[in-house]
Chains A and B, each alone.
Chain A
């Protein structure tokens, strides 16, 4: 499992004048272009008032994909079972509301993240001693077992029929959930923004750089005395907490949870979304989620029966022609344009 072809945002190879510390500082500084996604997200509220439900689902997918990017893109941990934590988050929030009447949204969201984090710690501590294909299959098998367990624990989870009776109080006691999904659009966007700030902070920290080191060469990181396992577990727990937030948001906005939140296809989809957008580059999660969900939504509208073919074709073409994900391709194109003009 080499991840060496996944590159961090382009290194300034052709500008030797910049000192390493200056380079690190430059990376952390917000660029003007980074405001773009947020302007788009806020603008979309007025431009596409009828698509806010889809928009909310996109935002949830972005949060979920960001959580995966932390481990996959920055620490090189490939997981095919990340839905486990999404599902734990969703069920935590859902069960708190349906069985215990804990309907307050913000604390429900926090609990979803925390419980997912506890699961993440337990499984990460054990599983992150492994790598490569073994780790992929272990994450996969763990998540499927969790799925089967949720099916058996029907009294709590509602099993295949789903968890009915989730009622979520108005956010801050003021904003009620509405049929057009306006409230949850803003709420999810707000959560996404906070999560993004945290993730951005982490990947540009020394800790984040250490993770990239582990991704690129684990042995060398061991050799220089880096606490590899501890760092991997730490980032894994952070990632699972964020995945739990995504799941909790999902449970609150849909007011319904079924076994599907834990399914293999959800784990697979988030991996596809992230590779599609571009791994290890923060905004890849945004691009991938939006493109994937638009394609799925549009294709299944045009041809409810055969949309899978179109989706497959898009994936194949992306791999054949835009090897580093859509964002990577865009970067390459920008570089070429700049190269040509200078």
Chain B
């Protein structure tokens, strides 16, 4: 295989793996921001918490990796429900600034609490054998774990697509994202829908946090270190848009990987250049609804 083709294939493959990680963590944020307009900067904290739940399950209770991810989803989703009712719900009608302050406060609290329980040292987990090493796809050999991340990403997008486009609840959510007051007036219980999407989105972020341990590691400050990246995916994709978040994650993931591969010295710039370029041309992101001001 010619060298440039081989390089291109690795860039696309590695970029996709990175993109899927971004997608799984960010998609929940996109939907909740689209649905309730809530600026939830604490979304990264759910991912961080998910990582620590995975660590506890695997290292503390000896649960294997895959069931751990499932249990992480469930537990983070469950934790998020009372939080949504008690802390978030009273602020749906508040200004964006109050929401920012509240959610940043929650991030600080989460960082402090996790540091208290787990200590500040970064934990690590051992992957099962079938996720270590390499997988041969005939034309090229790929790292198994990244292959797994891509699979999970595509599985998620399929499930979400099905849930959104092919179920009644999905239709209701879409209706509420498009026009909340209209949806309410025809009898859709938007509050309940929101609890559901919030829990799902948080749970997905939790899975993402669990999957990220093997790639970028985990520490209490995970909650804030990658926050900008998640926000970029959401905004570039367009609020409340599933396709948007997916496309944005892929574009940003591959651009970032390609940039680092081709020109490491300038690697950090690429993702922001793309962000600025997209937003200058399409302020509402790829598939955002028309901005109403």
A268 vs B95: C-alpha distance in the bound complex, in angstroms?
Answer: 17
**Does B231 belong to the interface (CB within 8 Å)?**
yes
Residues of the B chain whose Cβ atoms lie less than 8 Å from the Cβ of A131: 291, 293
Q: Contacts A306-B116, A309-B112, A312-B107 given: A323-B94 contact, CB under 8 Å?
A: yes
- Whether the pair A148, B269 counts as a contact (CB closer than 8 A) is yes
Shortest distance between the CB of A124 and any CB in chain B (Å): 14
- Whether the pair A137, B279 counts as a contact (CB closer than 8 A) is yes
Pick from A2, A132, A275, A323: contact of B100, CB below 8 A: A275
Shortest distance between the CB of A133 and any CB in chain B (Å): 6
**Does B245 belong to the interface (CB within 8 Å)?**
no
Shortest distance between the CB of B146 and any CB in chain A (Å): 26
Greatest chain B CB density within 10 A among A130, A133, A144, A313 is at A133
Residue of B nearest to A138 (CB): B279
Q: Contacts A130-B283, A148-B268, A308-B111 given: A140-B228 contact, CB under 8 Å?
A: yes
Residues of the B chain whose Cβ atoms lie less than 8 Å from the Cβ of A276: 101
A316 vs B110: C-alpha distance in the bound complex, in angstroms?
Answer: 12
Chain A residues numbered 114-134 whose CB sits less than 8 Å from any CB in chain B: 126, 130-134
Residue of B nearest to A218 (CB): B293
Pick from A132, A151, A306, A318: contact of B115, CB below 8 A: A306
- Whether the pair B109, A312 counts as a contact (CB closer than 8 A) is yes
- Whether the pair B104, A272 counts as a contact (CB closer than 8 A) is yes
- Whether the pair B232, A137 counts as a contact (CB closer than 8 A) is yes
**Does B142 belong to the interface (CB within 8 Å)?**
no
Shortest distance between the CB of B220 and any CB in chain A (Å): 9
A311 vs B293: C-alpha distance in the bound complex, in angstroms?
Answer: 34
A299 vs B232: C-alpha distance in the bound complex, in angstroms?
Answer: 32
Residues of the B chain whose Cβ atoms lie less than 8 Å from the Cβ of A314: 105
A276 vs B291: C-alpha distance in the bound complex, in angstroms?
Answer: 28
Pick from A311, A312, A320: contact of B90, CB below 8 A: A320
- Which secondary structure dominates chain A's binding surface? helix
Residue of B nearest to A2 (CB): B95
- Whether the pair B102, A78 counts as a contact (CB closer than 8 A) is no
Residues of the B chain whose Cβ atoms lie less than 8 Å from the Cβ of A141: 232, 272, 275-276, 279
**Does A145 belong to the interface (CB within 8 Å)?**
yes
- Whether the pair A148, B272 counts as a contact (CB closer than 8 A) is yes
Residues of the B chain whose Cβ atoms lie less than 8 Å from the Cβ of A5: 94-95
- Whether the pair A138, B112 counts as a contact (CB closer than 8 A) is no
Shortest distance between the CB of A263 and any CB in chain B (Å): 11
A311 vs B268: C-alpha distance in the bound complex, in angstroms?
Answer: 31
**Does B31 belong to the interface (CB within 8 Å)?**
no
Pick from A78, A219, A311, A323: contact of B96, CB below 8 A: A78
Residue of A nearest to B277 (CB): A141
A142 vs B275: C-alpha distance in the bound complex, in angstroms?
Answer: 10
Residues of the A chain whose Cβ atoms lie less than 8 Å from the Cβ of B276: 138, 141-142, 145
Residues of the B chain whose Cβ atoms lie less than 8 Å from the Cβ of A138: 276, 279-280
Chain B residues with a Cβ under 8 A of chain A: 87, 90-91, 94-98, 100-102, 104-113, 115-116, 120, 228, 231-232, 235, 239, 265-266, 268-269, 272-273, 275-276, 279-280, 283-285, 291, 293
User: Which 4 pairs from chain A and chain B are nearest by CB?
Assistant: A309-B112, A312-B108, A315-B105, A312-B109
Given contacts A148-B268, A218-B293, A311-B105, 14 further A-B contacts (CB under 8 A): A1-B96, A2-B96, A132-B283, A132-B291, A134-B235, A134-B283, A134-B291, A152-B266, A268-B104, A272-B104, A308-B112, A316-B105, A316-B109, A319-B94
